[in-house]
Structure 1
Amino acid sequence: MTAPALVALAHGSRDPRSAETIAALVDEVKGMRPDLTIEKAFLELSRPSFQTVVDRLVRKGHDEIVVVPLLLTEAYHAKVDVPRAVAEATARHEGLRITTTDVLGLEPRLLEILDLRMREALKQSRVRELDALVLAAAGSSDAMANQAVARLARLWGTRHKLPVTAAFASAAPPATGEAVRAFRGEGRRHIAVASLFLAPGFLPDRARELALEAGAVAVSDPLGAHPELARTVLARYAVGAVELVPV
């Protein structure tokens, strides 16, 4: 019995660095499970598209697919865009079964990656002292998604015994620059910003620019292709594959 194919589905970006990062992450996943059929796909702006990948898998004889959304929060893309794309694919292919897993999410294990990226940024900027942190994320019109980021920020602050503020690159206040200036208004001068983004692109770049303009001493790179993220993708896949098993 052939295992379901795994499609790692990202949003997509006009920035080529984003697709390169997603490709590197999917390569990490493939290295951990060379026995599986694993494909990357994008909802828009990057290639290959989700529909193209599904068509290719069907031509190869796959009739079961587990879609793992490469998203950090349960916001609009997860709730609307992904289900719409899956519904379109299943409507075009009779007999095709697709299940969609939970998003990657904001689990505490992400803090290990945040810390790694932050150490890299502090070393590059030659910073040895911090008195505040900002956790920068994309932001959403979905309040629950923003609250999830704020919870992770509080957990991160407790981990390092430092005050932390969640900031957002779009759709919700405060922006990273505002968060940095608020800390500076309290007399704090050594403020670093962590990029809670999966891959580079316009929003991470904008968050970085605003943070540095406001006086941040360091801004970390996005999470990128990390083995912990690859393991999370496979954990999501395992649950989805079980859901496809006939009862």
Structure 2
Amino acid sequence: MYLVGLTGGIATGKSTVAAVFREHGIPVIDADVIARKVVEPGKPAWHKIQEEFGPDVFLDTKHLDRTKLGDLIFNDVEKRKKLNAITHPDIYKEIYWQTIKYFLQGHPFIVMDLPLLFETGHMLNYLYKIIVVTCEEDLQLQRLMERTGFTEAKAKLRIAAQMSLEKKAEMANFVIENSGSARDTKEQTVKVINVLRSSKHHWKLRLLVGFCCTVLLAGAYWLKNRSSKSLSTAT
């Protein structure tokens, strides 16, 4: 099984593309969903955030107020680093467990929806291919404002805080342009799926894993026999 990264800018339409992959039976690991899961009330990260940032970043329901916390860390690099130090270990642990689960299920490849793939660089060395979803700047701004209720000024700041779409597209293996109709985006995505499905890269990885497992089992068997012989000789 090989890994495919899916990324882009905020409000460019990654979720739309991810949905097409799921429609075709391809597992998608969504880092945003996991990020919400690890900060649910009572989770270790939830307690740590409360200790670090206080009760003001929580709603009356005890759930994290993501908007308020986002505003708090947006212009404060140190606070953002502290939050990442709290949440990232749990997020990546869950990503790894889901990856192992899908590997054991026999999927040839899976998609990892990682909004800040290039910004963090954490998963880059593990990915076989990278897909970047882009759209026109005006449309991205409009979508973000409609989705979040941000003012135009605030939305522009959030977009500017990320790596530019042009730079991300330059580092991608596939670029899906999501400025047109939903049908057009789906057609582009299906073409990418067909290319990925034609790849035999997952067999190389499975053979490598199989070889390593065989070596480990052979080593364990040899050690067991050696121990048994040693005990027989001693007796």
TM-score normalised by structure 2 residue count = 0.34
Which protein has greater RCO, CA pairs closer than 8 Å, 6+ apart?
2
Instruction: Please identify which structure carries the higher helix content.
Output: 2
TM-score normalised by structure 1 residue count = 0.33
Instruction: Please identify which structure carries the higher strand content.
Output: 1
Of structures 1 and 2, the larger Rg is shown by 2
